Amino acid sequence: MEAGGRPGGGMTEVKLAVLGGSGAGKSALAVRFLTRRFIGEYASNAGTNACFLWMPCYLLECIYTKHLCLDGRQIHLEIYDPCSQPQRGKLSLTDELHWADGFIIVYDISDRASFAFAKALLYRIRESHIGACKKMVESSLFLVGNKQDLCHMREVGWDEGQKLAMDNKCQFCELSAAEHCQEVMAMFTKVLRNITSNFKVKEKRRPSGSKSMAKLINNVFGKRRKSV
Ligand code: GDP
Ligand code: MG
């Protein structure tokens, strides 16, 4: 049994959900981390995953998997990047909340609506984790103000992002998936480090990875709907 309480031949399994409004740059950030490339020439939402033809990892719907080594520990990483998320209406997130070990909440600094959506997501995540170990929830949440290269079109101030993060006791950074490769790598690495250090202090138990992944995909794509 690994430190995270998960079976798997010395491999620690980490599930990370990248959430945020449509067009905020979720896929661009995931692609940057996984491939170190910025792929600007692709449509967001449904067409986004075409870019993964280039990726050195497996693509299964909107969950990308990758093996990596962090601090000498072998990690089997799954990144959930929803193809589309409604910015309006009821925020369910039930499946994502059960599935993920950590969350990167992304907004676009040049789009105030995406900031409002990030706020709602943070609220929903924290609300759902009431009763869970507070420190663990906080350290596995990262708020990211993306598209810093568009600061001439800025609609959301750095201080507003910082305040939202402080209010929700999560980590915060502004960066640009388009221009800041190192910052993107560092942000993901920090999230992974926080999550794996949580595994050391608390053993997590969950259904088998493939089963829970299939359930998430089915629900996201509407094959099986669950009311909240
Ligand atoms: P998603 O819907 O949240 O997955 O957003 P995408 O990753 O598909 O990005 C939406 C659009 O924003 C695409 O045209 C990207 O090329 C663009 N984009 C993503 N990140 C950045 C960034 O840091 N700077 C700029 N200028 N554009 C970006
Ligand atoms: Mg996308």
Mean pLDDT, rounded, for 39-53: 48
| Residue 129 in this model has a pLDDT that exceeds 70 | no
Q: Of the ranges 32-46, 98-112, 214-228, which one carries the lowest mean pLDDT score?
A: 214-228
23 C-alpha to ligand 2 centroid (Å): 7
- In angstroms, the Cα distances linking 148 to 81, 144, 179 are 21, 10, 9
pLDDT band at 222 (very low <50, low <70, confident <90, very high): very low
- Ligand 1, atom 2, lies closest to the CA of 23
| Ligand 1 touching residue 48 (CB < 6 A) | yes
Q: Of the ranges 88-97, 141-150, 204-213, which one carries the lowest mean pLDDT score?
A: 204-213
| Ligand 1 touching residue 137 (CB < 6 A) | no
Mean pLDDT, rounded, for 183-206: 81
| Between 103 and 135, residue with greater pLDDT | 103
**Per the structure block, which two tokens stand in for 127?**
């609300």
Q: Report the C-alpha dihedral over residues 58, 60, 61, 62, rounded to 10 degrees.
A: -60
pLDDT digits (tens, 9 = 90+) for 165-187: 999 989 999 999 999 999 999 99
Residue type, 65: T
pLDDT band at 33 (very low <50, low <70, confident <90, very high): very high
Contact 33, 112 (CB under 8 A): no
User: Relative to the CA of 20, which ligand 1 atom is closest?
Assistant: 3
| Residue 205 in this model has a pLDDT that exceeds 70 | no
Contact 50, 137 (CB under 8 A): no
At 146 the pLDDT is 98
Of the listed ligands, the closest to the CA of 28 is: 1
pLDDT band at 63 (very low <50, low <70, confident <90, very high): confident
Percent pLDDT > 70 in the chain is 65
45 C-alpha to ligand 1 centroid (Å): 10
pLDDT band at 158 (very low <50, low <70, confident <90, very high): very high
What is the total residue count of the chain? 228
User: Relative to the CA of 44, which ligand 1 atom is closest?
Assistant: 8
User: Relative to the CA of 180, which ligand 1 atom is closest?
Assistant: 23
Mean pLDDT, rounded, for 116-145: 80
| Residue 46 in this model has a pLDDT that exceeds 80 | no
pLDDT band at 212 (very low <50, low <70, confident <90, very high): low
| Between 87 and 199, residue with greater pLDDT | 199
Mean pLDDT, rounded, for 107-118: 98
Mean pLDDT, rounded, for 54-74: 72
Helix segments in 51-180, DSSP class H? 94-99, 112-128, 134-139, 158-167
